[in-house]
Amino acid sequence: MAPVHRCEAQTDTTLMYVGSEACKRCHEAEYESYQSKSKKAHSYNSIKKMQPHLTEAEFRQCFECHTTGHGKPGGFNSEQETPKLRNAGCEVCHGPGSRHVDTAEAEDIRGKITAATCEVCHNQERVEAFNYTPLVYGGGH
């Protein structure tokens, strides 16, 4: 069995989402590439456009994949309360970044991304419901 990184212990309530800007300090090239090439970096705009056609419950359901950490401790709650988490940022794939930002240790963040990581949002049900072809590793850094 592969070792579990400390960041993957999602029950650890000390892990908080810090937003992609915090990642930029040390990972500027990756941040700039993600911001300029990935649709996910601007994913909240997609659901905001659809909001007039959705119920409030449907709109909030979209937060699960179109924002960072929704429904998890310290994750996205609203544009007003947590604006730095309003798009799908670095921590959607790499996990909450608070410990990594503090320590700069590689084991304090999920470094290896697998298809299973992506399939939380890019799963067959959503592919069929929204008629899109997922580009699991596309648009990243």
Judged against a pLDDT cut of 60, whether residue 138 lies above it is answered with: no
**CATH of the structural domain 17-130, one choice from 1.10.1130.10, 2.102.10.10, 3.20.20.105, 1.10.132.20:** 1.10.1130.10
Predicted pLDDT at 120:
87
Instruction: State the CB neighbour count (10 A cutoff) for residue 18.
Output: 23
Judged against a pLDDT cut of 80, whether residue 90 lies above it is answered with: yes
| C-alpha span between 134 and 84 (Å, rounded) | 25
Full-prediction pTM beyond 0.95?
Answer: no
Residues 101-132: pLDDT tens digits?
999 999 999 998 888 888 888 888 877 777 66
Judged against a pLDDT cut of 80, whether residue 5 lies above it is answered with: no
Residues 67-88: pLDDT tens digits?
999 999 899 999 999 999 999 9
Give residues with Cβ within 8 angstroms of 97, minimum separation 6: 17, 18, 22, 23, 90, 91, 109
